[in-house]
Structure 1
Amino acid sequence: MSETQDNAVRTYIHGHRAAFLDDLAEWLRIPSVSAQPEHAGDIRRSAEWLAAKLKESGFPAAEVWEVPPAAEEAAPGAPAVFAEWPSDDPDALTVLVYGHHDVQPAAREDGWHTDPFEPVVEDGRLYARGAADDKGQVFFHTLGVRAHLAATGRTSPAVHLKLLVEGEEESGSPHFRALVERHRDRLAADVVIVSDTGMWSETTPTVCTGMRGLAECEIELYGPGQDIHSGSFGGAVPNPATVAARLVAALHDEHERVAVPGFYDGVAELTDPERELFAELPFDEDEWLRTARSRATLGEAGYSTLERVWARPTAEVNGIGGGYQGPGGKTIIPSSAMLKLSFRLVAGQDPDRVEEAVRDWVASLIPTGIRHEITFGGATRPCLTPLEHPALQAVARSMSRAFDGRKIRFTREGGSGPAADLQDVLGAPVLFLGISVPSDGWHAPNEKVELDLLFKGVEASAYLWGELSASRTARS
């Protein structure tokens, strides 16, 4: 980690900055919107553009992977891109970088100041759909690896480097796990780096250590064969809307803990060092509430707001319905009611076990005379890398070098994503390297990336391959 090498990295990046931005702008002009079928051709064009550019940047192998339809589907999924740059060292660590090349829908009339697919640089910011989420953060690795080679004098990276860039993340990654399972051997890695995340703020660089998982279900409740008169039958037959309300009321206890028996089985508890690190972050709860458009915090007793949204499992009612919804009164016992529930999961929880626990809990609360059906969607597993993991420390050192020796803090993500599928299928720890900040406006009009931070990402990427290699050497 010499100062000379760091200066060489920065010099190389500065010399190639303009060409890098020109290439990125060209990619951003492709409206690769996975949610809109009319952009299927653009998704393919985006994948082909990236594969060609990766080869141009030095990757010996880069190819577009087709995504076959699932058994019940007619149409194939959006194409992904795979690239590989082997190290000359046969014993080198193998690292897989994940990102995505599809983007959210965007149109000028949504509130954009400019055409969302015509990149514009203003005041040190690059505005375009995908600038931060996720094309910019995928693309910084192309310049980063070349800066790594130039500064070290190597002809190949210090690690066996692989890239997997999917085309359906913004549509929920419906085929992603099957894609990873199909290409398990090609994707095999010792470490997975996810560059589809962000930092706490421009002045507080951070590294994410994990994401929560997700399980979702819909509960249908059926009572009388049709809506019936509440005067003639009320108080004498079970009411499915009342049962729905009782299920909701029973979901949490008086301490806001999830009351489903077995729900917390296996939960990895927060350690004292993790809680101390969370507490060090400059968190403004009042500002957070304004962002949430809420008037008060509420959650599991004994935990801070950040701990609740990053490191604790939750259960939420996403929807509830049944009976008459029109104006005025209608004195009936409805024939049916429904609930939609979601469960955010943390490390140690198994989505299959959670599903079984929820099914048993629902069944135990359904009275005679009410028929119920419960349907679960596809689940996402949680992922977490321990703070002491050598590869995580390598990421933190790379970020610190890029940010002029600044202390790197650690966060988690409260949401869920496909990263856990990589951890689950490949059996490799998942690490996060991202430079986006909350003001970048992912999924919103006028999405942007701060150019200074984008090139900090390039720099961190350039340092990372050597840091990861050194972490392995130190362990051996």
Structure 2
Amino acid sequence: MSASSPESRTPAVREFIAAHREPFLAELGEWLRIPSVSAQPEHAPDVRRSAEWLRERLAATGFPETEVWETADGGLPAVFAHWPSADPDAPTVLVYGHHDVQPAALADGWQSDPFQPEVRDGRLYARGAADDKGQVFFHTLGVRAHLAATGRTAPAVNLKLLIEGEEESGSPNFGELIRRPANRARLAADVVVISDTGMWSESTPTVCTGMRGLVDCQIDLYGPDQDIHSGSFGGAVPNPATEAARLAAALHDGHRRVAVPGFYDGVVELTDRERALFAELPFDEEAWLRTAKSHGTLGEEGFSTLERIWARPTAEVNGVWGGYTGPGGKTIVPADAHLKLSFRLVAGQDVEKVREAVAAWVAERIPDGIRHEITFPGATRPCLTPLDHPALTSLARAMETAFEQPVRFTREGGSGPAADLQDVLGAPVLFLGISVPSDGWHSVNEKVELDLLSKGVEAAAHLWSELAEGLRPTDPAR
């Protein structure tokens, strides 16, 4: 066994974590008491206080560079930190997370005050315990354990952190923040680690390899200048509500594929290995349906449920409205009707091309006499790291060392800022998270499993050495 192997470092890492567990949890509790709710303007000072608190703790951890970064348009601040490696050949790693949290109040049904952390049965309950303060903060103890186990005075990688303050509000200023030339240069990295994610379950540690992107739109249809009598005019003039229904019905073909021409252009198809790895997961479809509060599965033919939500692009009708919806009847042709649609994208799809394809598809289906407007409020790009990427191999090794069992691979059906970072920095994205589905993100009684939180610390402690070795430039002379 090599002196530098993760197995040889494990006892020292675990000893350090155990010795510092209580002070670590006490400090995390301090942070969780700050109600950094970005969606509520009255808590803007608390989000700022949270950022400054984190900056101070990162400096105390040992990061020589710690800054609060202001966002545009009076937005809420992010935190940046940098700890250079002493190794001139070391790769650079950027860790992303967020310090803002969802709204929460005792009256919502919490068993304890959401901003007064409480430990019960090996779990830490508080808003932000899992999403995302707990998973951000484990990096502070992780890097210290890494140093203690390796005897280094600086990390094995050039370690950077960017901790956002507006993620729970849709990251309205994040893209502009990371695209500023000065910031973009300082954020340059060989790999991005996202610690705002989770695992399959307590007994099945997993690594996420990608997230879907998102394009959404609203379609507004206008017909008569006012609601008109359906007996006098119905059947002789176009009806906006009918056309809205026709658009919604035409969105998929008979095989449940999205019927927009060009929608699937560029889609990176699942490999046989990926499909096999998905199939190995202990997926209970009936339990999943109960979680989904649904009564049957349905989707694109030829794909399993996990494949549909992780690796296939989709289209959903989020809302249709127009005309009279009150009690009784009102026999009219309504003046207007509206639809909201969303499209989840996978690797290989281009956001702008999807927007253009959707806009063209809508325009072609609108009859004369109906005026329409289509607006696209925002978009998120998809991201995917190939299974054979050396950075992903390094992460899997770090997780396997911490959990003492093989890790499996998943994807995420939702969307987030990971793709923005991948797009701007041109670096692969890794997902290091230890949260489990029962942690209750965005719900009442959010919690984190304390044993898993320690495993996150341990995985982070091993990851920096693994990446330093796995991403080291090949030296032909060796």
TM score, norm. by length of structure 1:
0.98
SS at match of 2:119: strand
Identity between Structure 1 and Structure 2 (%):
75
Contact 2:216 2:379 in 1 (8 A): yes
Q: Is residue 2:22 matched to residue 1:18?
A: yes
What is the Cα deviation at residue 233 of structure 1? 0.8
SS at match of 2:472: helix
Alignment map for 1:146-157 (pairs within 5 Å): 146-157=144-155
What is the Cα deviation at residue 296 of structure 1? 0.5
2: CA distance, partners of 1:42 / 1:441: 23
Report the counterpart of residue 113 of structure 2 in structure 1: 115
CA 1:475–1:302 in 2, change beyond 3 Å: closer, same or farther?
A: farther
Which of 43, 59, 78 is the matching residue for 1:55?
Answer: 59
1: CA distance, partners of 2:7 / 2:378: 48
Q: Is residue 2:31 matched to residue 1:27?
A: yes
SS at match of 1:215: strand
* Amino acid paired to 2:461: A
What is the Cα deviation at residue 475 of structure 1? 4.7
CA 1:2–1:166 in 2, change beyond 3 Å: closer, same or farther?
A: closer
SS at match of 2:320: strand
Report the counterpart of residue 433 of structure 1 in structure 2: 432
Q: Is residue 2:49 matched to residue 1:45?
A: yes
SS at match of 1:395: helix
Report the counterpart of residue 212 of structure 2 in structure 1: 212
Report the counterpart of residue 463 of structure 2 in structure 1: 464
What is the Cα deviation at residue 394 of structure 1? 0.4
2: CA distance, partners of 1:238 / 1:219: 16
Report the counterpart of residue 354 of structure 2 in structure 1: 354
2: CA distance, partners of 1:176 / 1:99: 12
Contact 2:6 2:462 in 1 (8 A): no
2: CA distance, partners of 1:473 / 1:231: 76
Report the counterpart of residue 285 of structure 2 in structure 1: 285
CA 1:197–1:362 in 2, change beyond 3 Å: closer, same or farther?
A: same
* Amino acid paired to 1:354: V
Alignment map for 1:2-401 (pairs within 5 Å): 2-69=6-73, 76-182=74-180, 183-401=183-401
TM score, norm. by length of structure 2:
0.97
SS at match of 1:386: coil
2: CA distance, partners of 1:40 / 1:329: 47
Q: Structure 2: where are the runs of 5+ without partners?
A: none
What is the Cα deviation at residue 378 of structure 1? 1.0
Q: Deviations over 1:280-302 (max 9, x none)?
A: 00000000111111111000000
What is the Cα deviation at residue 91 of structure 1? 1.7
2: CA distance, partners of 1:447 / 1:294: 23
Q: Structure 1: where are the runs of 5+ without partners?
A: 70-75
Contact 2:38 2:165 in 1 (8 A): yes
SS at match of 2:49: helix
SS at match of 2:196: coil
SS at match of 1:218: strand
2: CA distance, partners of 1:195 / 1:9: 20
SS at match of 1:473: coil
CA 1:475–1:203 in 2, change beyond 3 Å: closer, same or farther?
A: farther
2: CA distance, partners of 1:349 / 1:68: 29
What is the Cα deviation at residue 234 of structure 1? 1.1
Q: Deviations over 1:355-408 (max 9, x none)?
A: 00000000110011111000001100000000000000100000000001x010
* Amino acid paired to 1:145: V
How much is the aligned-residue C-alpha RMSD, in angstroms? 0.8
1: CA distance, partners of 2:162 / 2:235: 60
Report the counterpart of residue 416 of structure 2 in structure 1: 417
1: CA distance, partners of 2:424 / 2:469: 26
What is the Cα deviation at residue 26 of structure 1? 0.5
Report the counterpart of residue 73 of structure 1 in structure 2: none
What is the Cα deviation at residue 4 of structure 1? 3.1
2: CA distance, partners of 1:447 / 1:26: 17
Q: Deviations over 1:240-271 (max 9, x none)?
A: 11111111111000000000000000000000
SS at match of 2:172: coil
* Amino acid paired to 2:120: E
SS at match of 1:439: helix
SS at match of 1:16: helix
Q: Deviations over 1:75-118 (max 9, x none)?
A: x1100000000000122100000000000001001011111111
What is the Cα deviation at residue 472 of structure 1? 1.8
Alignment map for 1:441-460 (pairs within 5 Å): 441-460=440-459
What is the Cα deviation at residue 190 of structure 1? 0.4
SS at match of 1:237: coil
* Amino acid paired to 2:100: D
2: CA distance, partners of 1:241 / 1:93: 57
SS at match of 2:273: helix
Q: Deviations over 1:56-81 (max 9, x none)?
A: 01101101011121xxxxxx110000
1: CA distance, partners of 2:428 / 2:200: 22
* Amino acid paired to 2:361: W
Query: What count of residue pairs does the alignment treat as equivalent?
Result: 469
Contact 2:6 2:401 in 1 (8 A): no
SS at match of 2:70: strand
2: CA distance, partners of 1:92 / 1:455: 26
2: CA distance, partners of 1:456 / 1:246: 52
2: CA distance, partners of 1:158 / 1:364: 57
Q: Deviations over 1:223-247 (max 9, x none)?
A: 1111111111111111111111111
* Amino acid paired to 1:41: P
